Amino acid sequence: MSEEIITEVTEASIEPEVAEVSNEPEVAEVSNELETVKEVEPLEIPEAEDVQEMQEEQETQEEQETSYADKPLVALVGLFEEFSKNGDRLKMFKEAEAIKSAFYRKLQKEKSEVEESAVEALTELENGFRAVYNEYKKERARYNAAIEKEREENLAAKQAVIEDLKALLEKQEDVDATFPAFREIQKRWREIGPVPQQSFRNLNDTYQLYVEQFYDMVKINRELRDLDFKKNLEAKEAFCAAAEKLAENENIVAAFNELQKLHEQWKELGPVAKEFRDDIWNRFRAATLVINKRYQAYFEEQKEQQLANLAAKTLLCEKVEEIAGREVASLNEWNAFSKEIEDVQKEWKAIGFATRKENQKIYDRFRAACDSFYTRKRDFYNDYKDNMNANLEKKTALCEEAEQLKDSTEWKKTADRLIALQKQWKEIGAVPRKKSDQLWKRFRAACDAFFDQRDKNAKPENDFYGNLKAKQRLIAQINEYELTGDKDADAEAMEAFAAQWQGIGFVPFKEKDNIAQAYKEAMASKFPEASRRQRRPSRPVLSPKEKLVAKYNQLEQDIVTYENNIGFFAMSKNSAPLIRQMEDRIAQAKEELKSLEKQIREMDAEGE
């Protein structure tokens, strides 16, 4: 998840299990002497899962797996060994499965990313984890077998209690002998732990049957019977009050679980006097119905919310899948799309669980889309880094060559070579940011050093600094020019300034950009209206040399435009033909520049 991707979660919904309410069976008629009684179990509550535990498991499982997802494989193996030796085994099962899931997800991811030589080490680590996990499974199997054995022993013990109760019924002794023994049998029954689920109902029904028969058969005197009825009534009134209090509990899941316990305790109690029997049962039943209705409504609401959550998460999956499928060509786009993914992941975390059936599926879909995006991004960065390192080597080589040429006095040959190196520099892509400025300054310094020396040693006919001063004077004249108000006259003046500019020769290499920018700004400031109209009045007749110089300057500007176009085309796919076309134009223009420069020098040598 984060990235990374995002953080991994396991979510589950909870299906409600509501206690069924049935009318309490009729009780036996009293005898004409002691009114012997029997009372069948009051309310049938089906055996249910521990719903609260399921709720807590839902709320924590995603957080557990997310926390384990950031840990290395070796640490996950260590955690599993620690859990397999300590803690509550029932709770350990959830922890163990969360660690196992995180381990194999991370193992699969690392196997797909590492080189083939490193896969063997991961396989050995997997074998070690599998051995620890298998040992844990054996231990859990032994634990479950022990629990099952204990429940079987409890079943045998309760069956023995039933046999004792049955034998007590067969003795037909007086109450002084049978009633204390009956109380002892009841105590033994309550102290015995749980039995296998499949045996519970039949066993409990048999016990209750013999209890009822005991009350029918034993001749209890009225005083002892009334005292027992009274105690049972007080206990059942307390149960009713507790159930009514639970109906006010805001935590309906916890209230339902407590109600289950009250019903189990209710079953353990004996009967009450006949005149109170229906009232006490109806009171307890009414409180139960309130909790059951709230419990059912709660889970219906949960289901609706989970369906809404599923729909919201489906939309987020579609959004991430769309982002992951986009064509990306630059670092800025990757960073922008990564921010979109992070925002979607925040939305995902704010949404609750989906339905139990679909929750894991929708999460796997979301995780797969995020992983797809970040895998592509990682591959792009790896390629980009490799390209930048290769570009770094190329530009370093250009710096070294320029530094070797900076002290040369072969002005023409070396100038051509340095210009070619500058062209190569522009064609080479980006380098690591921390090296970029340093490398450019190094290259620029070597070029500037040569051109400064060349300009200082220029022949009179190539007076670069003189040309610079001439262009500076012309810019001053343009700034000092006062507009006449006659648009045609001002346009002619603008054309005259332009012709003079074209007639001035080259300036020192490092000054050409600055002086050209100053000229453009002066012309635009002084003649904005004429520039907008793009008027082309008749121009003064230029000399052959002036025409060649003007053509030379135009070709230089064309080359700059072509090189800028190459930079733009490189940002998109399928631009190779356009780039080759621009490169051909640049090469053709440079050949023509050489020819023009040769002609201009020949004219200078002839004194034209």
Strand partners, 5: 2
For residues 94-98, average pLDDT: 77
Residue 145 scores a pLDDT above 50: yes
Instruction: Give Rg (Cα) of the chain.
Output: 47
- Where are the domains positioned within the chain? 388-457, 462-606
Give the model's pLDDT for residue 461.
46
For residues 443-463, average pLDDT: 74
Give the model's pLDDT for residue 131.
84
Give the model's pLDDT for residue 11.
32
**By mean pLDDT, which of 432-436, 463-467, 514-518, 593-597 is the weakest?**
463-467
Higher pLDDT, 14 or 567: 567
> Which tens digit of pLDDT belongs to each residue from 326-356?
887 777 788 888 888 889 888 888 888 887 7
For all residues of the chain together, what is the average pLDDT? 75
For residues 252-264, average pLDDT: 85
Residue 391 scores a pLDDT above 60: yes
For residues 518-526, average pLDDT: 87
Residue 98 scores a pLDDT above 50: yes
pLDDT exceeding 70 applies to what percent of the chain?
77
> Which tens digit of pLDDT belongs to each residue from 414-430?
888 888 888 888 888 77
Higher pLDDT, 52 or 10: 52
pLDDT exceeding 90 applies to what percent of the chain?
3
Question: Does pTM surpass 0.85?
Answer: no
For residues 81-101, average pLDDT: 70
> Residue 160 — pLDDT band, cuts 50, 70, 90?
very high
Contact status, residue 488 vs residue 536, Cβ threshold 8 Å: no
Burial of 443 per CB tally in 10 Å (0-12, 13-18, 19+): buried
Give the model's pLDDT for residue 153.
92
> Residue 496 — pLDDT band, cuts 50, 70, 90?
confident
Residue 221 scores a pLDDT above 80: no
Higher pLDDT, 43 or 216: 216
Residue where the block lists tokens 């009967």: 271
Give the model's pLDDT for residue 154.
92
Give the model's pLDDT for residue 156.
94
> Residue 12 — pLDDT band, cuts 50, 70, 90?
very low
**By mean pLDDT, which of 117-121, 160-164, 480-484 is the weakest?**
117-121
For residues 445-452, average pLDDT: 84
CA distances (Å), origin 451, targets 61, 415, 505: 70, 8, 16
> Which tens digit of pLDDT belongs to each residue from 181-214?
888 888 999 899 888 988 888 999 899 888 888 8
Give the model's pLDDT for residue 430.
77
Residue 62 scores a pLDDT above 50: yes
Give the model's pLDDT for residue 308.
87
Residue 169 scores a pLDDT above 70: yes
Give the model's pLDDT for residue 14.
29
d(CA 245, CA 51): 20
For residues 517-521, average pLDDT: 90
Chain center to CA of 89: 32
Residue 147 scores a pLDDT above 80: yes
Q: What is the dihedral of CA 448, 450, 452, 457, to 10 degrees?
A: -170
Residue 360 scores a pLDDT above 60: yes
Of 145-154, 320-329, 571-580, give the range with the top mean pLDDT.
145-154
Give the model's pLDDT for residue 226.
76
Residue 49 scores a pLDDT above 90: no
CA nearest neighbour of 257 among 61, 89, 54, 59: 54
> Residue 467 — pLDDT band, cuts 50, 70, 90?
confident
Residue-by-residue DSSP string for 149-211? HHHHHHHHHHHHHHHHHHHHHHH---HHHHHHHHHHHHHHHHHS----HHHHHHHHHHHHHHH
